[in-house]
Amino acid sequence: MELFTPRLTLREFRDADFSLFRELEAHPATYYYESACPDEPAAQKYLENAQMDALQTPRIRYRFAMTIRPVDSVCGRITLSLMNPSIREWEIGWALHPDWWGRGLATEAAFRVLEFAFHELGVHRVVAFSHAQNTASLRVMQKLGMRQEGLLRETRQWQGGWANEVVYAILEREFIPGPA
**Is 180 inside a domain boundary?**
no
Burial of 75 (0-12, 13-18, 19+ CB in 10 A): buried
Which domain, by its residues, includes 75? 2-174
The answer to whether position 131 is within a domain reads yes
Query: How much is the pLDDT for 4?
Result: 96
- Examine the pLDDT at 179 and tell me if it is beyond 80: no
Q: Is residue 151 part of a domain?
A: yes
Tally of structural domains, the chain: 1
Q: What is the mean pLDDT of residues 150-177?
A: 94
pLDDT the model gives residue 24: 84
- Tens-place pLDDT, residues 61-119: 999 999 999 988 899 999 999 999 999 999 999 999 999 999 999 999 999 999 999 99
Q: Residue 29 domain-assigned?
A: yes
Report residue 180's pLDDT band, with 50, 70 and 90 as the boundaries: very low
CATH of the domain at 103: 3.40.630.30
What's the DSSP call for residue 148? E
pLDDT-above-90 percentage for the chain: 72
Across all residues in the chain, what is the average pLDDT?
92
Q: How far apart are the first and last CA of the chain?
A: 19
Report the percentage of the chain scoring pLDDT > 70: 98
Between 19 and 2, the more confident residue is 2
C-alpha span between 102 and 134 (Å, rounded) = 14
CA distance 100 to 106: 9
Looking at residue 106, what is its pLDDT?
96
Query: Which residues make beta-bridge pairs with 134?
Result: none
Answer whether residue 33 is part of any domain: yes
Q: What 3-state DSSP class applies to 102?
A: coil
The values of phi and psi at residue 65, to 5°, are -80, 135
> pTM to 2 decimals?
0.93
> Is 178's pLDDT higher than 80?
no
Does residue 61 lie in a domain region? yes
Q: Can you tell me whether residue 36 is helix, strand or coil?
A: coil
In a domain? residue 100: yes
Q: Which residues contact 29 (CB under 8 A, 6 or more apart)?
A: 98
Q: Is residue 81 part of a domain?
A: yes
